[in-house]
Amino acid sequence: MGEFQFYNTGFEAIFAGLAGTFIAQFIKVVIYICTHKKINFKIFTTTGGMPSSHTAGVIGLSTSVALIEGINSMLFAVSIGFSLVIMQDAAGLRRAAGKTAATLNRLVDEFVQKNQEVKPYAVLKELLGHTPLEVFCGMLLGIAVSLTVHNFNNIIAYFA
């Protein structure tokens, strides 16, 4: 049985994508603590906010594929195509859904205030998507994480 290889393999690409997602979610918790002066670990599992963890993950994966397979490879073309769809969805459809939820929440709240006999209702989640800036910052984070993972592996491989 062969020795486990991490460097320049699919494992490196998967790790870079997952690390980008995890780091983005961690940054969201830190930003929440700084702005609200309290800890809320539920932020770690939510969508929306700065930076886009979906974008950081898919761009981390795509950047790793580019570093390992080359930017002229079919695998990179598929990977970056997938990433662009995810990024457009985050800033487009999911953001629009969040705005729609905010409008519905406001309308239902106004209706409930006028009609006190209404039963309790569930408030829709409003923070679903991302602004273009949040997506852009997620992209930069994904690239940085992937480059860091790849270069760290080069250092390990050099001394191994």
The model's confidence at residue 117, banded by pLDDT at 50, 70 and 90, is low
The model scores a pTM over 0.95: no
User: Is the pLDDT confidence value at 4 over 80?
Assistant: no
Please say if the pLDDT value at position 160 is more than 70: no
Q: Where are the domains of the chain?
A: 10-91+131-159, 93-128
What distance in Å separates the CA atoms of residue 73 and residue 77, rounded to the nearest whole number?
Answer: 6
- The pLDDT, as a whole number, for residue 128 is 64
Q: List, in order, residues 6 or more apart from 34 with CB less than 8 Å away.
A: none
pLDDT digits (tens, 9 = 90+) for 50-104: 899 999 999 999 999 999 999 999 999 999 999 999 998 887 776 677 677 777 7
What is the pLDDT confidence band of residue 1, given thresholds at 50, 70 and 90?
low
For residue 74, what pLDDT is reported? 97
Rounded Cα–Cα distance for residues 78 and 56 (Å): 17
- The DSSP result for 31-98, as a single string, is HHHHHHSS--GGGGG---SSS-HHHHHHHHHHHHHHHHH-TTSHHHHHHHHHHHHHHHHHHTHHHHHH
Q: How does residue 126 score in pLDDT terms, banded at 50, 70 and 90?
A: low
